[in-house]
Structure 1
Amino acid sequence: MVDSVVTFALENLSRLLVSEVTLLASVEDQIKSLRDELSFMDIFIKSSKGKREDPLVREVVNQIIDVAYQAEDVVDTYVVNVNKQRSRNMFGKCFYSKHHVMMLHEVNDQINTIKKRINEIYQNKSKYDIQQGDFESTIENKEFAKDSSLLARRRDVEEDEVVGLVHDSDEVISRLDERVDSSRRVVCIIGMGGLGKTTLARKIYNSNKVKCMFPCRVWGFVSNYYRAQELLMSLLKLLGLSAEECKDLSDQEKMKEKVKECMSGKKYLVVLDDIWKTQVWDELQKAFPDDNNGSRILITTRVEDISHYTRASFTYRLPFLEESQSWELFCNKVFCKEKCPHELESFGMEMTKACKGLPLAIVVLAGMVAKKEKSQREWHKIKDHVSWYLAQEDYRIVTDILKLSYDDLPQILKPCFLYLGVYPEDYEISVRILCRLWIAEGFIQAKEVGTSYSPEAEDIADMYLDRLVERSLVQVASRRSDGGVKTCRVHDLLRDLCILESRENKFMEVCTELDINKHNSRRVSLQYRGKFWPIKDNQSHAHARSLLRFGERAYWNDKSQGWKRIRNSFKLARVLDMNDVLLYLSPSSELKTLIHLRYLKMTIRDSEIMNNTLDFICNFWNLETLHLMFEEYCSITLPSKIWKLKSLRHIHLKYYVKKWTWGASMSKMKIGEAKVENLQTLGDISLDVRTTSFLNKGMFPNLTKLTLCRMEGRQEEEEELLGKVLQCLNKLRTLKLIGISEILLDPNVFPSSLTKITIKHFSKLDPRIIKTLGQLPYLQILKLCEGKIHGYVNCEAGDFLKLQVLHVTDVSMVDADSWKIEEGTMPHIRHRLIRIIPDETC
């Protein structure tokens, strides 16, 4: 992660030089010079990776991180101050002109100070003979030795008979024994580090059934830093070659041929334990002959891509232990299969719960507890600090094994993974929100989104999440109806790893106590119960770029603890995510300075506060995502100035009131208003004349998601207005209609690009509308929720040709048989849920 710090600072400086060229004109040369200096620092950071355990190198790296952050702060602060000066009227500019000149001198002095500090770092490198060229040759040897040491330590804690693996081993063995296809086949065991993949493979390898099935068995430990020749040599020794016979086999290709020769004609089982990279398979597979005799290769890995790449015939995803299994494993280790004393049971069970079903953590914890006094006093101490004990030097094998997955991540994925630490334990993370936060933080780089043929930033973020899931670092909690990940979780021990790594690099700090002033990180996650804003009114967080708040509902009604604190402590913020903080006061004028803000989420009490807040939001020209929620119904009007925010991509306006069907309205559009090219998501908006005018004139040409709510007053106009809206949105993929029942029956009105339609809280829906929706060429998901269909629905062959998901829930119809689906309808349906409420009035 250290590598990303300087890289992010460089990219931020480069981006500002382009996007804020007018604001930076007076200091452009100095910033370019500073960027060039940091480029050389970046080279040193990347080349020092293998020697960061050296205290001197670590100190130099930490100094470089501080300099990179300082450079970013100076430039971002300058942009804020220049913008403040330019926004003043003529009198204000004259009055503050002296201050502005002083500010220019101050920025020059600060940049010169930073450059002087960089020169001192270079001098210290030379003084202590720290040469970047020396590092790269030592990386592989050090990492290989570290890996071998970790393997030895891991074997010390492996269990011969781990509970919960009987079903798992039987399942895999049955797949190894399949006789349908006698060709050589691959079976994969996938799971998070420490889950017991190697233990399960050993149990299978040593079982009597497998010994009978495969007369020839060999085991190869691969690891992340494997060396082909050493692995092949170990296989040859297991195949019975003497040291004398192996002595002349120095060439890798000859070794492969020898392995193939020794195994030829035999029915064999090869275990390749802990594969990380696909190139391992490329290098080894030719050494294993395919004699069409039912031979098998069993692979264990943390990386799902290995299974796809090797074309595995079966992939077994090893689950976490259940609570009863965790407790049994703990007792086996601590009490040698005897019963736990009753007075210690509650403490012991709490300890095992903290391991969240990870066998390695349970075994290591149990080994530590077994050496302690078996008393309530001693167990109580451990119970509340399980993660801390597992991170201590004597027991760090758990952290070290989990850290292997983090170390193996590509550089672009490391900040995305560490960011998961901002969420509380066991938190179910919305993937959609997470991806937008990643984008706002700058983890999805602009260069990847550049051309019109490139994927959208959101699509790249989804891909990054998929890669973390495939590497067993993120758990899928729920999936969307289209199969994508809807919510996810991270194991508590991996979360602890995120927090530990983040703290070392000042990347992020989780605050669970009342005083957060002592922290010095770029991102602050508040996770405690109580008052919302405990920090003192000072500049201690002037460097922070993000504030995310989690916890129970809090009320923000004290001006001294409100917007003023945001201005002073997070004036350079890119992210403000104030979950469950209810705002009872309008923002102050100082909030206009938050021009770096890209993501804003908050909950607001009433109309006056909402409309005042929206006026201030119009100053945040970098804003990408706006997520506003309302405690109670209030009349909301989006100001026309908001469409001048050219970076705006997503607008979400939500009421907490259940079954509320009205949305926000829009101000009158001014003549000559420019298009909002980047807007993709708009909701919840009232379907009225003004909304229709905006959408009908092509104001949002790239809109892909739209939520429309019923208009106040007459509903008979809805049909005509909806038709005008939909005809102009040729890129729309997702449409949600809330409280709207009058829908045109002409399928040509709907954009052909639509893949998902949700109709909710409707009354007396014409059943012919279902037939209309059935004609849409690319519709994959249809959801009808909480409403009434007046009549019978008949779906005929040829309707819904692309539909995959149909949900009809809590919908009133004449009876349960009111919906007829003929054969040939929905040929690609994979999930159908129909819950109809019989109602004779329909």
Structure 2
Amino acid sequence: MAYAATVSLLQTLEDSPQPMQQIPSDLLEKVRRLLGILDDPATKNSLSIKDLEGKIRDASFEAQDIIESHVSTHQLELSKSVSSGVCSCFWEIISALQDMFPAVYLCETWTDSMYQGMNLEVKGLERVIGELDLILEAMSKIKDGKEEAPGAGNLWVAGASRSVASNESAPVGLDQDLLHLKDRLTGSSSNLDIISIVGMGGIGKTTLARNLYNDPLIEDRFDTRAWVVVSQNYHVQEILTILVNSTRREGGEVHKKCVDELAVRLHKNLKGRRYIIVMDDVWDVKAWDDVKRFFPDDNNGSRIILTTRQSEVSIYPNPRSPVHHMKLLRSEPSWDLLRVTVFGREDCPYVLEEIGWKIAENCKGLPLAIVVIGGLLSRDKNEEYWKLISQDVKSAIARNDGDQFMQILSLSYDSLPHHLKACFLYMGVFPEDYEIFVSQVIKLWVAEGFMKPLATKSLEELAWEYLSDLINRNLIEVRRRNRNGEIKSLIIHDMLRELCMQIAQDEKFLQIINSHSHGFPQGRNNQRRVSIHSDTLNHLTVVHDSFLRSLLYFAYLQSSTQLESFLVSFRLLNVLNALTIKFNEFPVGILELVYLRFLAFCYRGKHRLPESICKLRNLQTLVVYRRDVSSRIASNTLYLPLSLWRMPQLRHLLFEEGFLPYPSLAKFKRKDSVVLENLQTLSQVKNFRCSKEVVEFMPNLKKLGILYVHDSRTKWSTYGINNFVYLQKLESLKCEFIAKDDLSRKHLPPKLAFPVNLRKLALYGCIISWENMTVIGSLPNLEVLKLRTFAFEGSVWEPNEGEFTKLKYLLIQDTSLEQWHADSTHFPQLRCLCLNFCSKLEAIPPEIGDIGSLEMIELCECRSSVVASAMLIQEEQQSLGNEGLRVRVNSFGEYFNSHLDTSLRKVQSPRSERALFQARRAAQLFMEAGREVH
């Protein structure tokens, strides 16, 4: 975790108050040099630098602790010295003064005290700087090539790959894979074809390739064949030597030849012959570039099989050739593999079968885990022993064959560049089988300081690149996608999560607290992050001198009393995720955590957040939910403080329903007003006034969610809706319009304009005429359009040609639309059409079926004629050979259930059986009421 720790220290140094920056100036220079060496690709696999990483991490931690502890202590002293008898607006005043004079401290005596205290810490920093000097000296020698080169090749990797293939005589669960790839290997194409097999470690890539390689039909078809394990630290000379010896026409084996001589010999061995070559365990595209020119293409049907854990590598040799993605085994093949591993051709005793199924399912479809646990079960075929193993399969593997098992999986971790290691280990904070939302994890990574800032990209863009890289390396799996194909949520396999937790604990990166934990980590030598999965707070004992940086709760807790007093121990906390904890009163102790960057909690108390929240001047993300609010509270609206407009680090503000006060014009005209340049998300705000001045103070806003609750006396001009068009960076806009009564329901301005960069638009209750749809249809980048409950009105919609050129998802719900005239030219890239509760619509235009990209038509509570038209479209497309179009007709109950699940997921907490039962029961009662309505 050297890289993440050093990046975090760099941010602390660069963001520190001015007096602090003057003292450790040489430290700042050394940290930048360290990052420069770690960023160098040449040092990625250096064994010597890996030996230094622990020292770099610890030195960075200590320096950061010294600096932040000192600043935190003196900010707390200042707070206490002026808090007595001060009115609630004090923090608004002090915030304004700090904006006016950012380099000057307000209290001269406090500044002097800070310098005096800092002098006491200088010796500690000097010692750290001395340690960094030694580290830099060692790293410079490594970078200059003065270290000994690592051993030739990675022999253990080759052995590991072959050991996995030891059970290849019974390719259980791979029947379809084998048939498909045999067809490709023996197909009529005469061109040289490169077939890539990709998947996570232990999923059976080598097993599949070995069974293809040894298949009698394949042996007979090819004149010569060869198998080479490439591994991470490969050498071209070794690869060529193996290939030459395997394909030699005559004579003995070749030894000690140079690369050029081996290349000539290999080309001669293969020339004119139909060959099949397996390159197993390829980690880098460079490995292919180093050998590809030695494989002749004589148009005789030769084939090359390449196995890899990385999607980028699988595509690289031939982007036009389809990649074979390995899938996790389903329940039945998992049991079949376990049974064959334990009993071979013998039958499994009936008494063990049910337990065996359970054990197989707990391996979550990973063949390597099934084979390992099968070897363990084969030692003792006693029912009681099997029951014991079934209680915790992961622990059973760890206690027995865990070392070899984890070594195979850890190869993927070891191959990661420095900047991705912390991001991968962070996946261990989430509970088992937890659905990880992309938007959530990106905000957390940014708050944790994992990204080294770049001038050309935002931190969120960098985080998304990191996430995509982990997906391409098959370390995390896509769980769900949005309607336009974007990744919405992720999941990590249990075994990879176990790897995360093991490495994270060794690296002092993360500790999980659950019902089996013995206590809370304390002191500098323990983990910097704690994730709590227990339903009780018994483990929250008093903590002294804690250097914890992140505290994440995923347990559902009814009471927050103990936690509020507990939080004050964590003065250096950066991340507090407490959405599953209900705070009846605002936890004022949080305001002492001046280094907080991410704060998410559930607040059921008073309607207002205090003005003093601006004390959290480092805050980037603020999420406040108002779930399960007492019926005694008349309104669910959360009133936000004016001081939010003076928190320049804010990047994301998310509420269920929050009222953001409009700053007075006089305050906007002040030269010292803060522009929220970093603010990207604002959702969901009530009656938002989008004046030109407000737009200027949010120049980089990308996502905006608004709820307008209006009456007959309020004019639309009050809200400045026409100014949406000036939000030039806006990509996602959700607007809900709710009238207090029928008299206050009114149409939006007909000439309403939207920003040109808009990609997602959701409208509710705005009553726009279908004739004015061209305003939306002309948006050049629009991909998702959701028109809910009377967003538009009128009986006929005729789109204009050239509109909706990039639209991928269209939802129309609760509308008076009767006739819709459209064809494929109006929605050329549409993938999904969803019509809900369109009770007056007569039919779907038949020409919609001609859209080549259309994959799904979803209907709910529409007329039978609409359903019939959808089915007719599907039949016509099937008759033309288009099997990809599906039609799904949902009932009201299914629709409600789907939205219930979405709502539960948004809470982002593990669902207990009792909570799930209660939610389902409520859904059932609601559906019964719904049937009566309809």
Per the TM superposition, whether the score is higher than 0.5 is yes
**Letter aligned with residue 705 of structure 2:** T
CA pair 530-307 structure 1, distance change in 2 beyond 3 A: same
CA–CA separation in structure 1 for the residues paired with 2:596 and 2:132: 32
The C-alpha deviation readout for 1:230-269, integer Å capped at 9, x for no partner, is 111111111135664624x612122122211111112222
**Letter aligned with residue 144 of structure 1:** N
CA pair 434-6 structure 1, distance change in 2 beyond 3 A: closer
Alignment match, 1:197: 205
Alignment match, 1:285: 292
Alignment match, 1:545: 549
**Letter aligned with residue 729 of structure 1:** L
CA–CA separation in structure 2 for the residues paired with 1:356 and 1:626: 35
Shift of 1:359: 0.3
Query: 502, 527, 547: which one pairs with 1:521?
Result: 527
Alignment match, 1:731: 729
Alignment match, 2:69: 77
CA pair 254-746 structure 1, distance change in 2 beyond 3 A: farther
Superposition map of 1:615-694 within 5 A: 615-631=611-627, 632=629, 633-654=635-656, 663-673=658-668, 674=673, 675-687=675-687, 691-693=689-691
Query: Which runs of 5 or more structure 1 residues have no equivalent in the other structure?
Result: 656-662
Superposition map of 1:382-531 within 5 A: 382-392=389-399, 394-446=401-453, 448=454, 450=455, 454-513=456-515, 515-518=518-521, 520-531=526-537
The C-alpha deviation readout for 1:292-331, integer Å capped at 9, x for no partner, is 2222211111111113221241211010000111111111
CA pair 5-393 structure 1, distance change in 2 beyond 3 A: farther
The C-alpha deviation readout for 1:583-609, integer Å capped at 9, x for no partner, is 101222x4332221111111111334x
CA–CA separation in structure 2 for the residues paired with 1:775 and 1:746: 15
Alignment partner of 2:814: what SS? strand
Shift of 1:387: 1.8
Alignment match, 1:659: none
Contact 2:579/2:625 (CA < 8 Å) preserved in 1? no
Query: 227, 232, 237: which one pairs with 1:224?
Result: 232
CA pair 557-260 structure 1, distance change in 2 beyond 3 A: closer
The C-alpha deviation readout for 1:691-710, integer Å capped at 9, x for no partner, is 23376552212212111112
Alignment match, 1:360: 368
Shift of 1:174: 1.8
Shift of 1:288: 0.7
Query: 329, 335, 349: which one pairs with 1:341?
Result: 349
CA–CA separation in structure 1 for the residues paired with 2:135 and 2:642: 56
Shift of 1:414: 0.7
Alignment match, 1:778: 781
Say whether 1:300 aligns with 2:307.
yes
Shift of 1:572: 0.8
CA pair 187-48 structure 1, distance change in 2 beyond 3 A: closer
**Letter aligned with residue 497 of structure 1:** L
Say whether 1:146 aligns with 2:151.
no
Alignment match, 2:7: 8
Contact 1:813/1:836 (CA < 8 Å) preserved in 2? no
Alignment match, 1:168: 177
Alignment partner of 1:488: what SS? strand
Shift of 1:545: 0.6
CA–CA separation in structure 2 for the residues paired with 1:136 and 1:145: 24
CA pair 585-836 structure 1, distance change in 2 beyond 3 A: closer
**Letter aligned with residue 592 of structure 1:** L
**Letter aligned with residue 346 of structure 2:** E
CA pair 346-255 structure 1, distance change in 2 beyond 3 A: same
The C-alpha deviation readout for 1:591-636, integer Å capped at 9, x for no partner, is 332221111111111334x423xx2422211111111111244333
Deviates more, 1:105-114 or 1:293-302: 105-114
Deviates more, 1:78-87 or 1:167-176: 78-87
Contact 1:796/1:824 (CA < 8 Å) preserved in 2? no
Contact 1:805/1:831 (CA < 8 Å) preserved in 2? yes
Shift of 1:345: 2.9
Alignment match, 2:758: 754
**Letter aligned with residue 492 of structure 2:** V
Alignment partner of 1:274: what SS? strand
Alignment match, 1:824: 825
CA pair 182-143 structure 1, distance change in 2 beyond 3 A: closer
Contact 2:695/2:726 (CA < 8 Å) preserved in 1? yes
Shift of 1:38: 6.5
Alignment match, 1:767: 770
Alignment match, 1:605: 604
Contact 1:573/1:597 (CA < 8 Å) preserved in 2? yes
The C-alpha deviation readout for 1:437-465, integer Å capped at 9, x for no partner, is 1111111112x2x2xxx122212211111
Report how many residues are paired: 798
Shift of 1:476: 0.4
Contact 2:341/2:371 (CA < 8 Å) preserved in 1? yes
Deviates more, 1:162-171 or 1:137-146: 137-146
Contact 1:622/1:647 (CA < 8 Å) preserved in 2? yes
CA pair 582-820 structure 1, distance change in 2 beyond 3 A: farther
Shift of 1:474: 0.7
CA pair 290-62 structure 1, distance change in 2 beyond 3 A: closer
TM normalised by structure 2 equals 0.78
CA pair 266-111 structure 1, distance change in 2 beyond 3 A: same
Contact 1:323/1:353 (CA < 8 Å) preserved in 2? yes
Alignment match, 2:851: none
Contact 1:175/1:314 (CA < 8 Å) preserved in 2? no
CA pair 125-309 structure 1, distance change in 2 beyond 3 A: closer
CA–CA separation in structure 2 for the residues paired with 1:124 and 1:751: 51
Alignment partner of 1:305: what SS? helix
The C-alpha deviation readout for 1:8-50, integer Å capped at 9, x for no partner, is 3541343234xx22x526xx32x23455676798899998976
Alpha-carbon RMSD = 3.6
Say whether 1:178 aligns with 2:201.
no
Shift of 1:282: 0.7
Superposition map of 1:128-147 within 5 A: 137-138=147-148, 140-141=150-151, 144-147=154-157
Query: Which runs of 5 or more structure 2 residues have no equivalent in the other structure?
Result: 85-93, 95-104, 630-634, 739-744, 843-861, 863-934
CA–CA separation in structure 1 for the residues paired with 2:83 and 2:808: 62
* Identical pairs, percent: 28
Shift of 1:197: 0.4
CA pair 133-653 structure 1, distance change in 2 beyond 3 A: closer
Say whether 1:112 aligns with 2:100.
no
CA pair 800-339 structure 1, distance change in 2 beyond 3 A: farther
Shift of 1:208: 2.8
CA pair 289-458 structure 1, distance change in 2 beyond 3 A: same
Say whether 1:536 aligns with 2:534.
no
TM normalised by structure 1 equals 0.87
**Letter aligned with residue 210 of structure 1:** I
